[in-house]
Amino acid sequence: MADHIYTLCIAGNPNSGKTTLFNALTGAKQHVGNWPGVTVEKKEGKVEHNGLEFNIIDLPGIYSLTAYSMEEVVTRDFILKERPHVVINIVDATNLERNLYLTTQLLELGVPLILVLNMMDEAEKKGFKIKIPHLEKLLGVPVIPMVASKGIGTDELLKKVGEILEEKTRVVPRTPRYRKEIENAIQNIERALVSLLPKEFIEKYPPRWLALKLLEQDEEIIKKCKKRVKDDSLFTLVNKEIQRITKILGDDPETLIADQRYGFASGAFREAVKITIKDRISMTDQIDKVLTSRILGIPFFILIIWGSFQLTFTLGEIPMHWIEAGFNLLGDLFAQWITLPWLRSLVVDGIIGGVGSVLVFLPNILILFLIIALLEDTGYMARAAFISDRVMHFFGLHGKSFIPMVIGFGCNVPAVMATRVLENNKDRVITILVVTLMSCSARLPIYVLFAGAFFPKHAGNVVFSIYILGIVLAIIMARFFRVVLFPGESAPFVMELPPYRLPTFKGLMIHMWDRGAMYVQKAGTVILAGSMIIWFLSSYPTNPSLTENYNRLLQQETARHKSALTRIAQSVNVPPEQLPSYLPFKSYKEIMDSFREESTERVKKQCSLGDLIQKRDEALAEVESKFPGTLPLFRTYQSEVEKHRKITAELAARMAAEKSANSYAGRLGRFVSPILRPLGFDWRNTVALISGLVAKEIVVGTMGVIYQVGEAQNESQKLMESLRKHMTPLTAYVFMVFSLIYLPCIATIGVIRRELNSWKWTLFSASYTTVLAWIVSFIFFQGGRLLGLG
């Protein structure tokens, strides 16, 4: 029985079908996390076969085992330190020669290895005849042919793993022998290592391999050895050997070793593979003739990016509305159940609102990651980077930064998550830092409000200028960060353009699901906590000392309204509560309502206002003739109802405004408002900006509350009017600029924290944007004043 869990790991080049094999073996039973300390993804899954239980680890896709990237270091450290029972090296059989280069290095680790030749069907079509027993003999390890996408060969693989574990099959990896001078150096260094290094270290890291790495000047291994060897003797020896080899062989050991590994790989390839067809034009080349062609390449690229954006946000909007509606309904339900006001506010506004603000992004994220998985798995993502790199490189970014930047215009949250396509951490950090400058759709309502209020004739151009400002700032900051944060490091752009392939449905679904789950679990907690804090700040204290007793004023108004209604009711002899259903009043109201409806639609129905008024007056007179004297009374009644509605709305709005100004958020706003005064903002602007931390669209709502607009029908009109009273066009524009740049919303901060796995970068992102917002706004405001615009 399975009393022991065996560890297997899958290693291989990117695009060799590693993840397809992993999915085929583990199915949905997998867990995605990060390797400790780094943002490299770690996938684990469990599988049982013939009573043996396996824990399978999908290692990151790599080309080599140097210290070039985090992925390579993670892989070799895992294999050497954790000592998995069997290492499965999957290779793309259609690209066997290049893939065997990594295999050569894995063989040198001296661990039990199985070589899996994936995509055997394609290799056969390409005319490759691979003599498997011959290859097994040349490499000294078992070789399994496979078509992972169809599940062919997975059983044979697990059977072979079982044989190795039961020691029915012995694995003795064969490794390249280097030229005499290098072999001598390896032996000398090996001897020194064995005598100088602690035993536990040598047991983990084979001395021959260490010696090779030292000759290759591998930074990680040098660091590791330096930590353990006190004196300089080891490095003096290594340097002496390197100089000697370079002098005799005319090239540095690093190059020579790589050369000979390739020699070993292509030797094995040539001996074990017979190529029967020559130079057939592949499907990939034919597709690339269109998709990366000089003329059609860019139009197709724009079309695909545009399509991705549209799908993510247009299609995502539908379930987004459902989620919003669902949470509103849930909130209403709880609002009815819970009578305690503070508990109601906590549950409805705090918890349900907070969870809603996390889940509302989920449709976007799922669709986006489905599209990204599709682009990556088909091979188009690499082409997109190939096409856009010229432009992005100019900005100090990478070709693959393009997609996150475009997604940023929709929403910064999925945009930050989309930076996962970037392999290089520096590229990722810079892209994440500037992606928040892409004006997301939540900021649009702010621009629409202010542009509509202050620049009604040029609203479109004004909003467009804000978007352009965001892009320009992103370019400037990207170049700035490249120089200041990562000086002297060129961003290498060496990227494989993999063959186009049909993705598997299972692979796409797993990919999408993993990302969605990760977003909810990890980013969700930060977003939820943040939303709760902001909710608390803006709704507490619940009973601040107000300048007036609004509740009493409201009661007084209700009493006044009631007595006014009673007076009207007495003159027609009905109880006051039956006034709305009193027959003539009801008829008048219906006439007035239908008049209002018709007059708003009169352009569409093509009738003149005069005719409608005449029609209305005739109808009113008809009722009046049946019930004489009721029309003037109805007019009094109508104006009383309207008056009451206005007064209560105004009182409620004033109370809300005062409460909001006295809440912790309001106090904070007033406290920090001196800092924003040089930008032309008053405390109201500041409070609105603080509320925008939850989500930038809230700024508009807060503005409504602070400017005491209440629940009037023409709310936005009234808000615009009162904004015009308090602000100038210049401050309005500066406010838009500030809204564009400052602190991304809580949700974005949450995913930045999650994606970069670092509070340091998260805080940096939050603070640099705010400082930048201040500086740019200051320049606009003071510059505008100098030009006499204020």
Per CB under 8 A, residues contacting other proteins are 63-64, 66, 68, 94-95, 97-98, 101, 254-255, 258-259, 262, 266, 284, 288, 292-295, 297-298, 301, 382, 385-387, 389-391, 393, 399, 490, 492-498
How far apart are CB 68 and other proteins at their closest, in Å? 5
Tokens, residue 4: 């022991």
Q: Give the list of residues 6+ apart from residue 580 with CB closer than 8 angstroms, or none.
A: 586, 589
The least CB distance from residue 102 to other proteins, in Å, is: 8
C-beta of 30 vs 105, nearer to other proteins: 105
The minimum distance between CB 389 and other proteins, in angstroms, equals 6
Q: Which CB atom, from 94 or from 431, has the smaller least distance to other proteins?
A: 94
Question: Among all chains, which residue has been given the structure tokens 């989920």?
Answer: 362
Alpha-carbon Rg of the chain, whole angstroms?
Answer: 35
CA distance 529 to 517: 18
* Residue nearer to other proteins on the CB measure, 248 or 391: 391
Q: What does the buried/exposed string (b/e) look like for 762-781 if buried means 16 or more CB atoms within 10 Å of the residue's CB?
A: bebbbebbbebbbebbbebb
CA distance 790 to 487: 41
Nearer to other proteins among residue 68 and residue 513 (C-beta): 68
For other proteins, give the closer residue by CB, 284 or 594: 284
Paired residues of 46 in beta bridges: 55
The DSSP string of 581-648 is: GSHHHHHHHHHHHHHHHHHHTHHHHT--HHHHHHHHHHHHHHHHHHSTTHHHHHHHHHHHHHHHHHHH
Cβ neighbours, 10 Å, residue 688: 26
Contact between 80 and 109 (Cβ < 8 Å):
yes
- Give the nearer residue to other proteins in terms of CB position, either 104 or 504: 104
Task: Name the residue nearer to other proteins (CB basis): 128 or 707.
Answer: 128
**Please, which residue, 118 or 539, has the CB nearer to other proteins?**
118
What is the nearest approach in angstroms of other proteins to the Cβ of residue 125? 14
For the bound state, the minimum distance from the C-beta of residue 73 to other proteins, rounded and expressed in Å, comes to 13
Cα separation, 134 vs 130, whole angstroms: 9
**Please, which residue, 490 or 625, has the CB nearer to other proteins?**
490
CA 92 from chain centre, in angstroms, equals 31
Q: Are 399 and 389 in contact (CB under 8 A)?
A: yes
Write down the least CB distance from residue 96 to other proteins, Å: 8
| 26 neighbors 47 (Cβ within 8 angstroms) | yes
Instruction: Identify whether the C-beta of residue 659 lies closer than 8 Å to the C-beta of residue 546.
Output: yes
Taking the C-alpha atoms of residue 181 and residue 13, their distance in angstroms, rounded to an integer, is: 31
Contacts of 36 (CB under 8 A, 6+ apart): none
CB of 72 to other proteins, least distance (A): 9
CA 359/CA 519 separation, integer angstroms: 9
Contact (CB, 8 A) for 770 and 742? yes
Nearer to other proteins among residue 284 and residue 716 (C-beta): 284
Secondary element (H or E) of residue 74: helix 70-77
Nearer to other proteins, 252 or 514 (CB): 252
**CB nearer other proteins, residue 254 or residue 650:** 254
Q: How far apart are CA 181 and CA 63, in angstroms?
A: 27
**Lookup: tokens for 166:** 């039961």
User: In angstroms, what is the minimal distance from the CB of 279 to other proteins?
Assistant: 11
**Shortest distance, CB of residue 176 to other proteins, whole angstroms?**
14
CB-wise, 283 or 391, nearer to other proteins? 391
Report how far Cα 47 is from the mean position of its chain's Cα atoms: 31
- What is the C-alpha separation between 412 and 787, in angstroms, rounded? 35
**Shortest Å, Cβ 64 to other proteins:** 4
The verdict on whether omega for the bond into residue 341 sits within 30 degrees of 0, i.e. cis, is: no
**What's the closest the beta carbon of residue 730 comes to other proteins, in angstroms?**
39
- Shortest Å, Cβ 382 to other proteins: 7
Chain CA centroid to CA 124, Å: 40
Structure tokens at 76: 């070799």
CB of 429 to other proteins, least distance (A): 17
